[in-house]
Chains A and B, each alone.
Chain A
Amino acid sequence: MIVRNPPSLGTVDTGLRDAMGASVGVSCETCHDPAHPDALARKGEVPQDFHGGISVAHGELGCASCHAPEDRTRLRLADGTTVPMREVLQLCGQCHGPKLRDFSKGSHGGGRGFWDRSRGPWVRDSCVACHAAHAPAYPLVMPAPPPNDRFLPRAGHEELAHD
């Protein structure tokens, strides 16, 4: 299976839009020298300038929980080793082990393409594609329109019950 990270991974949202209307992101090393990074913000504090209005709502975590303090392009695992940003699944899986197991077995996270891998790939999204790393709670959405049944009024449209 192919696991795709979102294009915004490892970038900060500048708030600008390109010609196609997509958000323009800036990768971390644009501003942070990987060899001489600034100190990470303390827990509870969130850098506002230049960081696209990041708000952290991920349990009790702070920046240093996930980001490698010495390299902004890498993430830090529990045993101290670091992994590149694109291996973010490993990091998520440390705390969310059962979910990562479910994901790898296919019972979480869905996918597009083929169930029959001999005919084509199964393309999946990594965790952070759906769960924004800093605020992973899945957002509320408005549903697609309900069926337009005769004689069954849509919620709030009881006056349309008889057509």
Chain B
Amino acid sequence: MTEVTRRATVAGLGATLGAVAFAKAMEPLRHFTEDLSLDQFLQRHYRELSPEDLERVLRRIEEDTLRERGAHVSVADDRPIPGVQFGYALNLSVCNGCRKCAEACHHENNHDRSTNQSYIRVFEMEQGSLDFEHAATHYDHAVPAPGKYYMPVQCLQCDDAPCVAVCPVEATWKEEDGIVVIDYDWCIGCRYCEAACPYHARRFNWSEPEIEAEEINPDQGYLSNRVRPKGVVEKCHFCLHRTRRGRLPACAEACPTGARVFGNLLDPDSPIRWVLDNKRVFVLKEELGTRPRFFYFFD
């Protein structure tokens, strides 16, 4: 009997020690669960939210942003405009690589400051070649440099997007006006879409974004530029909180050389239609069959 009691005691001690060690090991998780409300946890997919639910979600996001970041923001739900299909063209003969578009995106979309994150990456290419292998993204000299041309790349809002196909929870999908959007509150952060995208267009929030309250752009959209939580994927959304209200996206406005042409493909008088009809446009990696909405041309 003493053998059994001794074993039982040792076992009991071991179990207690194990439980304590487990609790200690899990301790940092407390910070994670603190920020997670039950409402947030149970929130349904954007497409399943009733108008009242969506209102509640938008207000909650505004309250959370105020509480966590000290910034007053307004988050809207901008729906696609009927009769609109967005298209974008970029004049490679005119782009001078100044990165003002990337900078504007950074400010408009409330990106993390420390990484100087942007949805746009500008590639400095060798003239005469479309080979990205010898391109540079971190050039830091006066532009345009001799013998180079510049190619900004952002999400091309593909009509047959690989990222949409691979998402296991349908957190990303193509809307009626052509924009491929992400429900940041539904994304599980598996990054399969990031692996699938042929254009390096998607970004993952590896940490909580750092932005000062006064730098936060308060004019926000649920599917676009509200401050994203860590652990989810994001990408260019053609500034839908602007474009679905008729405005130009931030990158198009910021471009000082006028290389960017944005508009409604269904409007025969739009600049984008004129470009597609009159300029020799091409798309990146056409052979993959992604059918982008973003076109490039030389003048």
Contacts and interface: CB of A to CB of B under 8 A. Distances in A.
Direct contact of A and B (CB under 8 A): yes
Nearest to B116: A148
Nearest to B115: A148
A155 B138 contact: yes
Q: Sort chain B's interface into a size bin.
A: 35 or more
Given A143-B97, A143-B99, A155-B136, A113 B248 contact: yes
Interface in A106-163: 106-116, 118-120, 122, 130, 138, 140-150, 152-156
A108 B142 contact: no
Contacts of A119: 245-247
A143 B140 contact: yes
Contacts, number: 125
A110 B116 contact: no
A113 B249 CA distance: 9
A105 interface: yes
Contacts of B136: 155
A144 B257 CA distance: 14
B91 A115 contact: no
B118 interface: yes
A102 interface: yes
A142 B97 CA distance: 9
Interface of A: 102, 105-116, 118-120, 122, 130, 138, 140-150, 152-156
Interface stretch (B4-12, B42-50, B217-225, B262-270): B262-270
Contacts of A107: 89, 91, 261, 271, 274-275, 278-279
A110 B258 contact: yes
B253 interface: yes
Interface in B127-162: 136-144
Interface of B: 81, 89, 91, 94, 96-100, 102-103, 114-118, 121-122, 136-144, 243, 245-248, 252-253, 255-264, 270-272, 274-275, 278-279, 299
- Chain A binding surface SS class: loop
A82 B247 CA distance: 37
B94 A106 contact: no
Nearest to A148: B116
B258 A142 contact: no
A120 to B, nearest CB: 6
Contact of A156 (B103, B114, B140, B258): B140
Contacts of B138: 146-147, 149, 152-155
B137 A147 contact: yes
B272 to A, nearest CB: 8
Given A107-B279, A144-B103, A146-B140, 20 more contacts: A102-B299, A105-B275, A106-B261, A106-B275, A107-B89, A107-B91, A107-B271, A112-B248, A115-B270, A116-B247, A119-B245, A120-B246, A142-B143, A143-B140, A145-B116, A147-B115, A147-B137, A147-B138, A154-B140, A155-B140
